[in-house]
Amino acid sequence: MGQFSLNNQIIVVAGGSQGLGKEFARRFYQNGSNSTVIVVSRSRSKLQQAVREISGEKTAQELTDGLQLASGQRKILFAPCDLADYEQVERLHGTLTSCSLTPTMVLLCAGGSHPGLFKDLKGSELEMGVKVNYMTCVNLAHVAVRNWPSTHLIFFSSAAAFFPFIGYSQYAPVKQSIKALVAILRQECAQQRVSCVYPGNFDSEGYVLENETKPAITKEIEGPSEAISCEKCCNRIIKQLQMGYDDVTTDFIGWFLMSTDMGLNKQNNVSIGWPLLWILGIVSNLIIVPIYMLICKFQLRKWRKSTQKEM
């Protein structure tokens, strides 16, 4: 189990062309020493733009078969790949191997939410939710476990995995599946460090798009939640990983919601104040959660009546 460091790493950042993935790529490249960063996503143009912005160079270098890299320098490369396509992920592995690059860290940041009522979502949007939020994650993780057994895997789920509610049918169930996958991998891959981040709201391109389709009732139940910057979110995650925590939240509400998920079947939870989380979880599930769920039921009943009047 290696200690988290920005230095002397070979990092693959899935979803590294924008948002939190891009911020992590920036942090490793600008603050790390002797580290190689490979940013991966579907869009070649977005990857090129991201690498140019991070490096400050006019051109961006693509990862290609047999590429020779000078040692002792910080480097950032891009690799277009649809991570939801397993064959493309295997080709990415082949390219890394041909370049003598064995990742020491894989950040599984790819994902995105399209809020909306279940009946109003298109079949293509539901399918995209599974592909973008789960298949991109499970495919790369599978290749990593099979070929890079010492790699630190860092999954990105969501605080919504602890408390799914109306409007997130395309997103929350899939993020819960990542939480389950992490629990299983910690049992099967004891030699690897497996971390999982449960971010709250953070300001990114995806967050702006999310708010465009988010139903009013979703906003009401979610409550006022100011989105922190990608930079601040990244800082909090790095700090906790460096402290040795592997179940990471980025705000108090995420930490509190994680406490309600603590139980006898929780495997290897390593998070800030976990003994307090366990006690708080017992108290919350006995007292706080039932009261809050009554409030949610009232909000939903009020919303249903208003929508019936509009029909």
Catalytic residue IDs: 157, 171, 175
Phi, psi angle pair for 37, to nearest 5°: -110, 125
Q: What share of the chain is helix, strand, coil (3-state, %, to 5)?
A: 50, 15, 35
Give CA angle at 134 (128, 135), nearest 5°.
80
* CA gyration radius, the chain: 20
Q: Is the dihedral of CA 68, 74, 78, 81 positive or negative?
A: positive
Residue ranges in 148-229 assigned as alpha helix (H) = 172-188, 205-213, 216-222
Distance from C-alpha of 17 to C-alpha of 13, rounded to nearest angstrom = 9
Q: Which residue carries 């090129």 as its tokens? A: 48
Distance from C-alpha of 102 to C-alpha of 96, rounded to nearest angstrom = 7
Q: Is the dihedral of CA 257, 262, 263, 265 positive or negative?
A: positive
Distance from C-alpha of 36 to C-alpha of 137, rounded to nearest angstrom = 21
